[in-house]
Every structure is written in structure tokens, then in C-alpha cells.
């Protein structure tokens, strides 16, 4: 069975620094990417939706399913989250 996101999961804890800690200029008028662990262990990513931009340029073997979006975040968001991401 394919994985399905659980819309009933709640935000549990932020992964990495808050947007304001990474960028003091971040406020309600600016895009502020973020990453959160959800209550079921899944991860929510807040970033820019570039699905349309990348749709025709996906690498061989990569596809976006119905309802999936390609979201881009700054590299430093992931770097700051590294300490909060468990090793596999």
C-alpha cells in the first residue's frame, strides 16, 4: 500500500531554528520557510511551491503523484534542522 499523509496529525515540534532565529528580518510580510515533525512522525515542510517550474525537468525515474507538490526550501533550513533529525 502506498504511503498516505494523515491530515489529522498535529504539529509536534519544530526541526531546527525558528524562521526568526535564522533571519531576524522574517515577519508576516516575508516568506519564512520552516520544517516541523508531526505527531505521527511525518515531517511538514513550508517552502515555495515550484511544482510547475520543475514538472518538465524532473530526473529520470522521479514523478509527482496526484496531490503531490515540489516544495523548495533554503539549504540553511535543512542544515539547522540536522541536529533534530534522527539517523536512519
pTM of the model: 0.83
Of residues 69, 32, 34, the one with CA closest to residue 49: 69
Contact 37, 43 (CB under 8 A): yes
pLDDT band of residue 22 (cuts 50, 70, 90) is confident
Of residues 29, 18, 25, the one with CA closest to residue 77: 18
Looking at residue 88, its pLDDT comes to: 62
In angstroms, the CA 88 to CA 31 distance is 30
Q: List pLDDT tens digits, range 28-83.
A: 666 789 999 999 999 999 999 999 999 999 999 999 999 999 999 999 999 989 98
Looking at residue 11, its pLDDT comes to: 97
Looking at residue 40, its pLDDT comes to: 96
Phi and psi dihedrals of 83, rounded to 5? -65, -20
Amino acid at each position: 500500500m502506498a504511503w498516505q499523509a494523515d491530515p489529522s496529525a498535529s504539529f509536534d515540534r519544530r526541526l531546527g531554528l525558528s524562521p526568526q532565529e535564522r533571519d531576524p528580518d522574517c515577519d508576516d510580510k516575508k516568506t519564512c520557510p520552516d520544517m516541523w515533525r508531526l505527531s505521527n512522525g511525518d515531517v511538514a515542510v513550508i517552502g515555495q511551491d515550484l511544482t510547475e517550474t520543475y514538472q518538465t525537468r524532473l530526473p529520470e525515474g522521479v514523478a509527482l503523484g496526484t496531490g503531490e507538490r515540489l516544495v523548495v526550501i533554503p539549504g540553511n533550513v535543512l542544515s539547522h534542522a540536522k541536529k533534530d533529525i534522527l539517523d536512519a
